[in-house]
A and B are shown apart, each in its own frame.
Chain A
Amino acid sequence: GQNIDQPTEMTATEGAIVQINCTYQTSGFNGLFWYQQHAGEAPTFLSYNVLDGLEEKGRFSSFLSRSKGYSYLLLKELQMKDSASYLCAVRDSNYQLIWGAGTKLIIKP
């Protein structure tokens, strides 16, 4: 079956750095997405990786290793507004998005 694994919850301190990991087992691979979802709101797109390596976008970076079925989202200079759930999703060989359950990130002052 298809499976996406992420930690359920993480806690970090304002101003620090946090890395959220995602491992996947899917039938085929056509890209990996990270979305941010604040409580009570819709998911919003953060990043897309299809080739191995690091994609940097401001305070957020996303890394992919296809051979290991592994990705991480790196958040730097954490702000209180970064408190949210972070969803990892993989597009499989049928171009369908398979979603992880999300990682709830709690930022403490």
Chain B
Amino acid sequence: DTAVSQTPKYLVTQMGNDKSIKCEQNLGHDTMYWYKQDSKKFLKIMFSYNNKELIINETVPNRFSPKSPDKAHLNLHINSLELGDSAVYFCASSPGLADSSYEQYFGPGTRLTVT
């Protein structure tokens, strides 16, 4: 009965490969997010979707492409992986945008290591 789940938890791959990270939430939330947390622990928003529509698209390389097949899922596909992509990627969800008090619920994170 995990609220926000991500797979895989660990991902080790070589430069140049293409990989995907999956995220699912069973909270009935409308909004989902992808964050990148680098070695300095700084949490940086990458994308945000509300009801399957992209609402935040920060300056990230276009090698990163999010896909939201439905409200409960937000997947992240990364092409041509680079060493600098090594980080922990967190998926999160929140009830929506209408109420500023809504907190975000985070998944367990995916630790990506590019060699």
Residues of A within 8 A of B (CB): 30-31, 33, 37, 41-45, 48, 50, 85, 87, 91, 95-97, 99, 101-102, 104
Minimum CB–CB distance from B112 to chain A (whole Å) comes to: 14
Which bucket holds chain B's interface residue count?
Answer: 10 to 19
A-B contact count (CB 8 A): 44
Assuming A95-B97, A96-B56, is B44 touching A45 (CB within 8 A)?
A: no
Residues of A within 8 A of B101 (CB): 31, 48, 50
Do the beta carbons of B103 and A87 come within 8 Å of each other? no
Minimum CB–CB distance from A9 to chain B (whole Å) comes to: 11
Which residues B74-112 have CB closer than 8 A to chain A? 90, 97, 100-101, 103-109
Selected from A31, A44, A87, the residue in CB contact (under 8 A) with B43 is A87
Assuming A50-B100, A95-B97, is B106 touching A44 (CB within 8 A)?
A: yes
Assuming A42-B108, A95-B97, A96-B56, is B42 touching A33 (CB within 8 A)?
A: no
Residues of B within 8 A of A50 (CB): 100-101
Q: Whose C-beta in chain A lies nearest to the C-beta of B6? A: A42
- Is B45 at the interface (CB under 8 A from chain A)? yes
